[in-house]
Amino acid sequence: MRILKYGYFGEDEAHRIFLANYLELLVLHLGKSEELIFDFDELFTYKFRGRNKSEVDARFAEAVQEGFVDYQHDIFFVGRDLDTFTNHEFKDKIKVMKSQLSANFHDKTFLMIPVQCIEHWLWYIKIKLENPSSTKNESLESKPRKDAKIALYGSARATNQMSNPIVEELSMKLDFDYLESRSESFKIFHKEVFNFINSLETS
Amino acid sequence: MLQKVSIQNFKSLKDVTLELQRVNLLIGPNNSGKSNFLKALESFKLLIDDYSKYFHQVDPSSDLSIHKISNIDSIIRKNDFFLKAKAERMVFDFRILNGYTYSTFFEISNEFYLNIGNNGKSISSGEAVCLINRDFETDAIIDEEDDILIDDDYICGYFKKIFNDIEIYKPDPNKLQKSFPILPNQSHVSNDASNLIAFLDTLRDEYPENFKVIENDLNKCIPELTGLRFENVEIQKNDDLYKIYGDKTFKRLGLFDANNKVTYWADELSEGTLYFLALLCIVHQPNPPKLLLLEEPEKGIHPRRIREVMDFIFQLAEDKDIQIIMTTHSERVLDEFEDIPEAVFVFDKDEEGATQVKNLLKDIIEPSNEKMDANDLPRIKFVESLGSHWVTGFIGGVPR
């Protein structure tokens, strides 16, 4: 059994909840639940936190460094919502953020950057759960963030108390293939994590 | 100037030591012990002011003997409050044992140290000279050689000179909104600044230069407000203030807006403006305390004005040779310490609820730099933005 201790630095609880459930489901999905456990470093994550996008941008590279050097993380995740929904700007953002990371950490740091916000990924999951047989492929990521939050939480400014149980419930019902087929930003994140886990098998 | 303070067993402060600078900043989450630290220093002041009173409460049947007094470790018990402060050549060492107060003073010179009680007697052993408390048995003295007579006034006087008027200031804007009686000789701002009207009235008549500086500084930060105004008010006989102060002239305080030619009276002013005025009065007192303790001086101040407030505070320390210890919850205040991280102390509580204090430079930045250097990684750029590194967790002192 291999235990991978992971750190997370990001701006809100929804990312962290989604990530924990995503990793748990991914291990199951890959049939590795007997071989691999992702161990979330709560202490680190409750200490290190960005309150908004600019704080995440300003501090994430240092947070990654702290995670690997001081907290002995095996892997690290950075969560940041992206304001724009154009494919070009999304790819540029990933490139810029990666360039800020020390070379030592490139292959074990994963950028979770939902286009618009993590609620758009969850919105796709919600629609799939509510319309399991629908083949309609509507892009939600061009819709305003406020719409996604209202669709999920019933409020544009939901408290954690309102939103966390919904994030928890929806992310536990994540369908990788479906979300990958709908969201380019999820696809890129998922592919990187997937490849990393597969490379563990061969290393 | 206080150089080093150690406190044991005072509320959440089980064992903390701070090496202080001229202006010091305490940061940390709510309830982490910052205010307890200030309160411990305040207790220290009260005991210095009237310490002989406490000595006379010492139980003569106490099992403490001079042997134990000379051996500090043996008389520190688990729950004793213990405070030690170093100032220039002197160390003040104070503790409360079993509800009683016991105190020793040490003077350190090149040749010897002086261990002083309040009795005016001494013992010496080799290079060590020890004066013991007259409330303890004297027949336990060993190797008595050089009796040195030092009386209470000498000791109190010496320490009062160093710790002259330690004051914790926590202005209460609600009290500033009320009228206040014109009392004589109010050249000192009270801890909650409730006597601001009487203070300013005294200043206007007796210290016009200080009064003018306060008006100028206020105007510098809030340009529309050009002057201080007072107005007599009637007070009902059933008013609490009347009950306390009786038949006096009561006044209310206002700030004059020259552009609109109108006076805004205290009950029309924002809490932030009143708080700022109180802060100006504290720093421009004719005889400010030598050790000034300020809780959240940025309270109610617009973020863009915080730099000016901090400039006042640093200038006061410089001009009047005052030591300042303040707490803050503002990252902007912390940013003002980018070039002096050694003056910042980070408070946190451990799992058992005891306060832990780290010096930002010595305990956080330097060890981090060493670790990153050893790993051939870039250093964390703490001082490029201390406030940002604090709120994102790099420095500690953050709530969960």
Chain A contact residues (CB < 8 Å to B): 46-51, 55, 58-59, 62-63, 65-66, 69-70, 102, 104
pLDDT for the residue numbered A90: 87
Longest dimension (CA), chain B: 79
pLDDT value of residue B60: 40
**What's the pLDDT band for B54 if we cut at 50, 70, 90?**
very low
Contact B94, B103 (CB under 8 A): yes
Chain B positions in Cβ-Cβ contact with residue A48 (cut-off 8 Å): 392-394
Contact A48 B393 (CB under 8 A): yes
Most A CBs within 10 Å, among B380, B390, B395, to test the A interface: B380
CA A101 to CA A60: how far, in whole Å?
8
- pTM score, whole prediction: 0.81
3-state secondary structure of B232: strand
pLDDT in tens, B303-353: 988 998 899 899 889 988 888 999 999 999 999 999 999 999 999 999 999
Spatial separation of the C-alpha atoms in residues B227 and B90, rounded to whole Å: 45
Listed in sequence order, the DSSP H helices in chain B are 34-49, 51-55, 66-70, 72-75, 152-163, 173-176, 196-206, 208-221, 240-245, 271-283, 306-320, 331-335, 366-374, 386-391
**pLDDT of the residue at B136:** 32
| B94 pLDDT higher than 70 | no
Whether pLDDT at B382 is above 70: yes
Q: Does B33 touch chain A (CB under 8 A)?
A: no
Of B371, B380, B391, the CB nearest to A51: B391
pLDDT band at B106 (very low <50, low <70, confident <90, very high): very low
**Size of chain A in residues:** 203
CB within 8 Å of chain A, chain B residues 355-374: 371-372
Residue B140 CB contacts under 8 Å (≥ 6 apart), including other chains: B65, B66, B67
What lies within 8 Å, CB to CB, of B189 at 6+ separation is: B169, B195, B196, B199, B278, B281, B282, B285
pLDDT, residue B398, reads: 95
- Reply yes or no on whether the pLDDT at B46 is more than 90: no
What pLDDT does residue A155 have?
94
Q: Determine the pLDDT at residue B84.
A: 60
Please report the pLDDT score of residue B129 as a whole number.
28
A69 to B389: CB separation less than 8 angstroms, yes or no: no
Chain B residue numbers with beta carbons less than 8 Å from the beta carbon of A69 are 371-372, 375, 377
* Average of per-residue pLDDT values in chain B: 76
Tokens 């007094």 locate to B69
Q: For residues B238 and B63, which has the higher predicted lDDT (pLDDT)? A: B238
**pLDDT digits (tens), chain A, 203 positions:** 899 999 999 988 999 999 999 999 999 999 999 999 999 999 999 899 998 999 999 999 999 999 999 999 999 999 999 887 777 888 899 999 999 999 999 999 999 999 888 999 999 999 999 998 888 888 898 899 999 999 999 999 999 999 999 999 999 999 999 999 999 999 999 999 999 998 886 44
| pLDDT at B146 > cutoff 50 | no
ipTM: 0.90
